[in-house]
Structures are given as structure tokens and as C-alpha cells.
């Protein structure tokens, strides 16, 4: 029962952290992805920021925010809960164990990354578009190009499915998993290392304070 409650709390912690993190980081994610595009028209970060602001307005920096949350909230919830579940199996006494932290972190990141790849594909489509050229609108032939904006998550899903079918939702899944595994393994290992160090220091400090208090009591006697 305690394990279930702990897993739920871990999932909730991941959810809240994601809401705050994405609110701050979504604009930089938009700029990063536009700079990474093949034949990107931007000369640098500030050029990209100015161009997006002037042509598309401030809303463009948050066009994919709901999609980002739709992807990152389940990613982090699944990530945190999977990590804690694996720790229960590999490190039940919750001692600092580098190998168990790295394995648990890598597997948790891989599972969460693979499961949320379809949402990442849609998020990337929303972030990198300025306009889609050559997509036929309803009633038009494939050869007639138009300029269309992807306006939201549902629209992005329909566009990905129309262009690539179901396999289109998992383009880049291997690269995403390979990227996330070392990232989450390192993150959890570093977190657990500092957590262990801080906890140990606090424990030793409390013991020293108790000993000091005991000596003072003896002196008073």
C-alpha cells in the first residue's frame, strides 16, 4: 500500500514540475527547433526570436504549449513512476547504488520516450512550422499547394496521419530513446548522489547535536 501511495506521489511531483518547467522553457524550445531545421532561414537565436515575433506574434512561442504539456506530463509521470518501480526491484533498501540508479534511470527514460514519441512528433510539427507548403486542402488535388498553419494538437495528429500513416507517429523513436537513456541515467545518478551526500551530512549533524546535548546535561548534573 505504501509503495502505491509513493508511486502516486512521484507521478504527481513529475506532473507539477513539468507544468512549471514547460511554462518557462517552451519559447526556447520553439527557437531551438527552428534553428535545427534543415536549411533554417535564421542566422542565430536573436534573429529567430525577432523574426518569429514580427511575423507570427508572441503566441507563436506558445503555440505548442498545450501539446508540450500533453507530451511531457505523461512522459514525466511515466518516467518517475517507472524509475521508482525499478528502484523497488533493484534497490529495495534505497541505499546509494550507482549501477541501480543508472539502469533504472536509463530504462525509465527509454520506456517513457518510446511511449510518448507520437506526441513528440506532433509537438515538433507545431514548433517548426511557419507554413506548410504543398499540402492540399479539402477538395483540392495533391498538386495544388497552399499555405496552411497547423492550429493545434488534433490538427497535427490528422496531418501526421495523412502524410505518413501510423508509422509516421514513430519516426525518430530510436533516436529519441537513444537520446533519453543516457540523459535520464545521468540525471538520476547525479540526483541520487547529492541526495545521499546531503542526507548523510544532515544525519551526522543530528548525531553530533545529540552528543553535544548529552554532554551539556551531564555537566549540569
User: Nearest to residue 28, comparing CAs of 76, 67, 65, 69?
Assistant: 65
Identify the pLDDT of residue 8: 77
Identify the pLDDT of residue 214: 67
Beta carbons of 42 and 48 less than 8 angstroms apart: yes
**Which residue, chain included where needed, has cell 507521478?**
11
Domains of the chain: 2-130+148-186 (1.50.40.10)
Identify the pLDDT of residue 145: 46
Identify the pLDDT of residue 128: 77
The whole-chain average pLDDT of the chain stands at 84
Per-residue pLDDT tens over the stretch 55-72: 989 988 988 788 778 888
Per-residue pLDDT tens over the stretch 30-50: 899 889 887 888 989 999 999
C-alpha cell, 11: 507521478
CA dist., res. 76 & res. 195, Å (int) = 20
Amino acid at each position: 500500500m505504501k509503495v502505491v501511495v509513493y508511486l502516486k506521489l512521484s507521478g504527481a511531483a513529475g506532473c507539477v514540475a513539468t507544468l512549471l518547467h514547460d511554462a518557462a522553457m517552451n519559447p526556447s524550445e520553439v527557437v531551438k527547433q527552428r534553428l535545427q531545421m534543415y536549411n533554417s532561414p535564421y542566422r542565430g537565436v536573436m534573429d529567430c526570436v525577432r523574426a518569429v515575433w514580427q511575423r507570427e506574434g508572441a503566441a507563436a512561442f506558445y503555440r505548442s504549449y498545450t501539446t508540450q504539456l500533453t507530451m511531457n506530463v505523461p512522459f514525466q509521470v511515466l518516467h518517475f513512476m517507472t524509475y521508482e518501480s525499478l528502484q523497488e526491484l533493484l534497490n529495495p533498501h534505497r541505499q546509494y547504488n550507482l549501477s541501480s540508479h543508472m539502469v533504472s534511470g536509463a530504462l525509465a527514460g527509454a520506456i517513457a520516450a518510446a511511449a510518448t514519441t507520437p506526441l513528440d512528433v506532433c509537438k515538433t510539427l507545431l514548433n517548426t512550422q511557419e507554413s506548410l507548403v504543398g499540402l492540399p486542402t479539402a477538395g483540392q488535388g495533391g498538386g495544388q499547394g497552399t499555405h496552411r498553419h497547423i492550429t493545434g494538437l488534433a490538427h497535427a495528429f490528422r496531418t501526421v496521419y495523412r502524410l505518413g500513416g501510423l508509422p509516421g507517429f514513430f519516426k525518430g523513436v530510436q533516436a529519441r530513446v537513444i537520446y533519453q537513456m543516457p540523459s535520464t541515467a545521468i540525471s538520476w545518478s547525479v540526483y541520487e548522489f547529492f541526495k545521499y551526500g546531503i542526507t548523510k551530512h544532515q544525519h551526522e549533524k543530528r548525531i553530533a547535536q545529540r552528543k553535544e546535548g548529552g554532554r551539556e546535561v551531564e555537566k549540569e548534573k
